[in-house]
Amino acid sequence: MSTTSSRLQRSERLSASRPALSAFNRRETRAALLFVAPAAIGFIAFFVVPAIRGVGFSFTSYDLFSAGSFVGFDNYARLVTDSVFWNALWVTLQYVVVNVGLQTVVALLIAVLMHRLTKSMLVRGLILGPYLIASVVAALVWLWILDYQIGIFNNLLDFIGLDRQSFFGNPHLAIFTVALINVWKSMGYTALLLFAGLQTIPKELYEASSIDGAGEWKSFWRITLPLLRPVLIVVLVISVIGSFQIFDTIAVTTKGGPVNSTRVIYYYIYDLAFNRYEFGYASAMALALFAILAIVTFIQLRVTRARDNDLA
C-alpha cells in the first residue's frame, strides 16, 4: 500500500510539473490521439471547414442552384443599408431582454419558493415538464390557447370584461408573446439550476439571520442573492447566447410577421437562404451575427468579472 502510494505521489509530482515535449509518453500520446480522433474529425469536417466555407460564401452571390459569382464586399455593404437586418437585430434584442429578464426573475422566485417550502421530487419533476417538450410543441399549444377568436385565454379575457388581444397578429404584441412562450418553456429548468445553487448556501446563515430578527425579504436580499451571484451570472450568459438563437417558435407560429415584428435574425437568415435563394447574402449575415455575439459575450464577461472583483 505504501509503495503504491509513494509511486502515486511520484507520478503525481511528475504530472504536476510542466513536462517538456520529450516527456510525453509515445504510447500515451498515440492512445490519446485515437481517443480524440472521432471528435476531432467531426470538429474539422462539420465545424472548421464549414466555418471557412461560410466565410467564402459570404463573398459570393451563391444561390444554391449554381455557383454564383464573386461579389467582394457587396453583401456586407448591403447589410449596412438593409433596414430589415437592423430591424431583425432590434427585434431579437427585444426578445432576448424580455425572455432572459423575465425568465430569470420568475425562475428565481420559483427556486426560492421551492427552497423554503418543499424539496419534493414530484414538484421538481412537474416544474421541469415544459422544458422537456420540443419548442415547436410548446409553440403550437400556445398558438391554440392564445388564438384571437377561439382560444381559451381570449375567451377568459372576454369573460372578465377585458378586450380580446391578437397575441400573434398584433405587431406590438407578437414578439413579446413569443418571449413569454419561451419563458414558460424554460423557467422550470432555470429554476432548478438556481435551486441547485441555493442548496449550496449554508443553512446556518439563514438560521443566524432569523435569530437576529430579519424577515424573509431581508434575508433574501442580504444572503441569498449575493451568494447566488456566480450561478446567476452563468445562467445569464448561457441564456443570452441561447436566446439569440430563437427560431423554432417563430417558424411554426408567426413566420416573421406581422409587419416583420417577429423577424428575428435567425429566421431572417433562414428565409433569405432557403426561401429567397440568397445564400451568399445569408452567409454574410451569419458571419455578422457571429461577430456581434462575440462582442456581446465579451462585454457581458467583462462587466460580470468587474462586479466579481468589486465583491471580493
Binding to other proteins in span 206-245, by CB under 8 A: 215-216, 230-231, 234-235, 238, 241, 244-245
**Interacting span for other proteins (CB under 8 A) from 72-80, 89-97, 219-227, 271-279:** 271-279
**Interacting span for other proteins (CB under 8 A) from 36-44, 70-78, 95-103, 303-311:** 36-44
**57 near other proteins, judged by CB under 8 A:** yes
**293 near other proteins, judged by CB under 8 A:** yes
State the cell numbers at 117. Answer: 417550502
- Round to whole Å and give the CA distance between 72 and 92: 28
Can you say whether the dihedral through the CA atoms of 255, 261, 262, 265 is positive or negative? Answer: positive
**250 near other proteins, judged by CB under 8 A:** no
**97 near other proteins, judged by CB under 8 A:** no
Q: Are 278 and 63 in contact (CB under 8 A)?
A: yes
Q: Residue 7 Cβ, how far from other proteins at the closest point, in Å?
A: 8
| Among 135, 205, 225, 226, interactor with other proteins by CB under 8 A | 135
Q: Residue 306 Cβ, how far from other proteins at the closest point, in Å?
A: 20
| Among 46, 70, 73, 221, interactor with other proteins by CB under 8 A | 46
For residue 8, give the amino acid letter.
L
> ∠ CA 99-105-107 to the nearest 5 degrees?
90
> ∠ CA 179-185-189 to the nearest 5 degrees?
120
| Among 89, 236, 252, 300, interactor with other proteins by CB under 8 A | 252
What stretches of 65-214 show up as alpha helix (H) in DSSP?
Answer: 74-81, 83-117, 121-132, 135-145, 152-160, 174-199, 203-211
Other residues' Cβ atoms within 10 Å of the Cβ of residue 239: 20
**Interacting span for other proteins (CB under 8 A) from 71-79, 92-100, 196-204, 304-312:** 196-204
| Among 70, 73, 86, 274, interactor with other proteins by CB under 8 A | 274
**168 near other proteins, judged by CB under 8 A:** yes
**85 near other proteins, judged by CB under 8 A:** no
Report, in angstroms and rounded to the nearest whole number, the Rg of the chain calculated over CA atoms. Answer: 26
What spatial distance separates the first Cα and last Cα of the chain, rounded to whole Å?
43
- Round to whole Å and give the CA distance between 62 and 282: 10
Rounded to an integer, what is the distance from CA 272 to the centroid of its chain? 23
**133 near other proteins, judged by CB under 8 A:** yes
**Interacting span for other proteins (CB under 8 A) from 91-99, 201-209, 251-259, 304-312:** 251-259
**11 near other proteins, judged by CB under 8 A:** yes
**Interacting span for other proteins (CB under 8 A) from 64-72, 93-101, 201-209, 303-311:** 64-72
* Residues counted in the chain: 312
**125 near other proteins, judged by CB under 8 A:** yes
- Round to whole Å and give the CA distance between 279 and 276: 8
**Interacting span for other proteins (CB under 8 A) from 96-104, 201-209, 247-255, 304-312:** 247-255
State the cell numbers at 312. Answer: 471580493
- Round to whole Å and give the CA distance between 62 and 48: 20
| Among 2, 17, 66, 309, interactor with other proteins by CB under 8 A | 66
- Round to whole Å and give the CA distance between 61 and 154: 46
**31 near other proteins, judged by CB under 8 A:** yes
**82 near other proteins, judged by CB under 8 A:** no
**104 near other proteins, judged by CB under 8 A:** no
